[in-house]
Amino acid sequence: MEIILGDDRRMKRMSAVLVMAGLLSVTIPGGAVHAAPASETLGSVVKAIKKEFAKKSGVRFSVVRRGGPPGTWDIKASGAYRFRASGVYAADTTTISQEARGTSRTREISIGRKFYSQSYVRSKDGKYPYKSPSRVGDWTYAQNLAGVIWGKDLINGINPGFLELGASHDATSADGGTFEGVKTTLHSGTVTVPKVGERQAGMYFETQEEELAYGGPITWKLWVGPDHLPRRFHAVMRLTLPEGGATYTVTMNMIYRGWGEPVRITAPPQHLLSDDW
Residue 256 has pLDDT above 90, yes or no: yes
One DSSP character per residue, 103-130 reads EEEEEEEEETTEEEEEEEEE-TTS--SE
- pTM for the full model? 0.84
Digit-coded pLDDT (tens) for 136-166: 999 999 999 999 999 999 999 999 999 999 9
Q: How confident is residue 40, by pLDDT bands cut at 50, 70 and 90?
A: low
| 85, amino acid identity | A
Please measure the distance between the N-terminal and C-terminal CA atoms of the chain and give it in whole angstroms: 14
d(CA 268, CA 55): 25
Q: What is the pLDDT of residues 210-251, one digit of tens each?
A: 888 899 999 999 999 999 999 999 999 999 987 777 899 999
Q: Is 56 left (phi over 0), alpha (psi -120 to 50) or beta?
A: left
pLDDT at 44: 96
Using omega within 30 degrees of 0 as the cis cutoff, is the peptide bond preceding 269 cis? Answer: no
Query: Is the pLDDT reported for residue 16 higher than 90?
Result: no
